[in-house]
Structure 1
Amino acid sequence: MRKKILFIISVLLLIIGFGIHNPAFADGNSNDDLKKAEKSVDKAIELAKKGDLSEAEKTYNHFDTTWREIETGIKNDSAKAYQDIESNMGQVVYAFTLKKQDQVVQALQGLKSVNDKFANGEYPKESGFKKKDISLDDFIILLQQTKKEIGKQNQTEALADIKRASDSWLSVEGVVVAQSASVYSDSERDLVKIQAMLSANPPNYNQANNTIDHMISYLTPLAEKSSYTYWDAAMILIREGLEALLVVIALMSFVKKSGEVRGKKWIWSGVLGGFAVSIILALIVKFVISSGAFGNNNALIGGWTGVFAAVMLLYMSYWLHSQSNIADWNRYIREKSQAALSTGKLVSLGILAFLAVFREGTETVLFYIGMASQIKLQSLLLGFLIGAAILGIIAILMVYVGLKLPLRPFFMVSSLIVFYLCIKFTGMGIHSLQLAGLIPTTNVESIPSIEFFALYPSWESAIPQVVLIILAIAIILVKKFKNNNNQ
């Protein structure tokens, strides 16, 4: 049992570790951290002056990597310094794309200048979003600032502004999702599209400007709402909990059908673990780090968790489909000596339940914390209970219907539900990684946005989903061909 627990803990730490930047510098002094990191900039300047731009760029990339580890500390000390450093880093990247020595040297020296200014304590101490998360009105102002820089065709500043908006999205998304799920989905889609438009070479200023105008137009009415009802609170839990519920119920129905009692314990352990970690992380983000400072890491955690869960769902869907033949299922039971699930599969059920709950749970808790100041406590609790009751009814109906199904239809339906969730988690995971800037985005207007499938208009998120569908069709056809030959 101890080995099983250690295995699960290791997997969970690996997942969360993917989402959070290396904290090697987190406990140090931000001035000293930047001085250490700046050695790479000094070396890059030397190389650039000698004309070796290729090595200069590689050396600068060391600074860029270290910056991602220390930027939160600098942002907390001085939002202005953070903004200036990010802006100058954008100019460096742009200069390297031009491959002109004088511009590269000038951009690197500009970055060194602002780094020195911060390291020497010349920036005012003001912590940006640390003490107070921004409001939706503030978020719209960030979009307007981005629009202003787009009007000047200032790529560097526009990219810096839209990145600040993306990092701050976690502060306001609860206000949005409580009022409109479609606007919430559109906002996350458009944030990714704008970054891609501005990062293009040359930048697509016209479309970026139009997209920001569209965002401002559909977000502005939501900013005017100052209070919420119990139904708003209920809908948050229903919307955010439905995907997690589908995963958990599919797993529960399966272990009940197989008669494997131990499976329930693993699934419930995963569910409770997901709830616990979600609540703890949400409280830390809200009251220690702040949503604004944690925004990018939240997208990374959500992205990696979604992708990892999608891989596990793909395997589970394939395995369920492969058992839809009654003879295959009976043979599998005999091979396991009446133990329907191996220990490894039991562990995977628990991990999958944890991922499903954890992925949705953190944001759900943050949404409720954000609503707390704008809704009566009685309404908040009533809304939560109503949402939980509706989800409970759905769960009971799904389990009841699932257990009433004959063996073959049960496995077929279960595999379809799990495969649907695999497709959706794949799209959501990749999109979150795009929102965090880890994966590039190629906008394709011909690809529709379909929230039900988490389909977004970019090749990077759509292609993996299409590949999964083609792969599933191919597996079904191959299996059908083999069955026909065996008859």
Structure 2
Amino acid sequence: MIYKKMLGMLTACLIVFLCLTPASFAAEKNYDSLFVYIGDSLMKAKSGDQEAIVENMAGFESEWNALKNDSEQAKGVDEHLLQVKSALQKDAGMDEIREELSSLSSSLVAFDKAQNPVNKGKDKQKLQELLPLIDEMKATVSQGDTQKAKSQYNELLNKWAEAETFVRGESVVSYGEIEKYQAFIRIAVTNEPLDQESAQSNLDALQASIENVIAGNVKKADNAAEYSLTDITHLLEESIEAIEANQLDSAVTQLNDILTIWPMVEGDVSTRDSKLYSDMETKVPEAISLLSSKKVQVDAAKSILNDLNERLLPLTNDTSYSTWDAALILLREGLEALLIVVTLLSFLKKVNQHDKQKWIWIGVGVGLAASVVLSFIINMVFSQLTAASSREYIEGIIGIVAVVMMLTVGAWLHSKSNIHAWNQYIGSQMYQAIATGRLFSFALISFFSIFREGAETIIFYSGMAPYMSLKQMVSGIGIALAILIVIGFILIRYSVKLPITLFFKIATVMIYVLAFKILGVSIHALQVSQVLPTHSIGSPFIEWIGLYPTLETTLPQIVFVALILLTTVWVKKRNNAAAAA
């Protein structure tokens, strides 16, 4: 009977923890996320990381199955997805894998266009409306009327906002070209005095680019999906080095390359740091202007580029959590819940209060139900917060809260790793309940034990959620649940013989290791949202433990390790004193 109840409790735990899955795990119902999987896979193919491609395609397939329909274009995506999977399974060369990924991307584009047909005639008309504005602005610039030119430029931008989605769909390269010329025009008309020569030449170039798009003569980039933010930072660093070597023409060339690549990677920045996104689009052209003008301003240009590079670097390091990280959370929390419930049941049996076990199970059931309610509340709040522009900020704060909880809970666990301290803790609670005769107290003890584990797990998973896929989370929970079922059975049947002290010590080590990683990832998220600055140091970037090469992430992790060591010494002294007493 007890075994069935324990199995039922563990099954309920699975349901609870699946309910705890925050909204950020859920696949977004849009095609952009599917293109991200393909783009990242193409980058990984470039570096030969086949394991990452397999993981990306698993995520792609999961989301695609939720979005696809019975159209011919959808069948085309299915066919190319199978070809990619086949190439991965037979360990084909990276060139073949990249070719299959490109074909998959093309089929997804066709599906996207079929589902979201555009009225090209109407969109081209919006683009056509820009041309008279450009002619008017040319006349204004030739007259040297700065204020009127600024006003016309703002009107031009507003009209461009109505047409840019269409242009981007036609050609990301042409889109970037138009954006670049507009940035140069802005710099020219905001100069004091107005830079007529630069404004006129860039207005001419802008007009030519728009006319080409209207005529269907757009520029294509064969390897557009293969660029990443890392390419941008490399070009920034190369341009800074060229400036230091007084090779200004080379620096300008590198910066122009950035403007060409930027439209292909800007999505990685716009959703995470809107201020940096805006600065990249305005300050890179400004740096080019400073280096190309008659009065070259080297220091100002270099300062701009250094600032942009420092702010971009945190976004290039993409740490994520693994299936085993997810398993460790549930394993540690579930293990603690199991030990508490088993100890409570064993205690009642030893004091001949076997008939009161139902109160323990009532407490377990209510604790699980309360955890489910809390999970839905946090799930709703978290999904709304992460949908906002402050997503990285919220993720960072939640992660740090999780670390604080891990540190305090870990210290509590460590203090209970002494078997005498653990027995004393449970015994004092149970004896008090028996002495007062309040049967409700039995349920209350187990309720708080289970509810505390559920609440802690919600916080832990919320901190990890944005950095792992739903598949990883579910598989991690499944692995942990299987292990807990085995341990639960052994604990109930052989509880006297099991080394409880060892269980607690292992759980403590696991929670500290994972907390170290979450701390690094969370501070990194705050750097991305510019809540914290970024100062690079010479330490390595080690993804699996969340170690970043920045002062702001490394220093708190050092303090964290120091606190763990101090806690260990304190607990050991206290346990020795208790044993002696």
Larger radius of gyration: 2
TM-score normalised by the chain length of structure 2: 0.40
TM-score normalised by the chain length of structure 1: 0.47
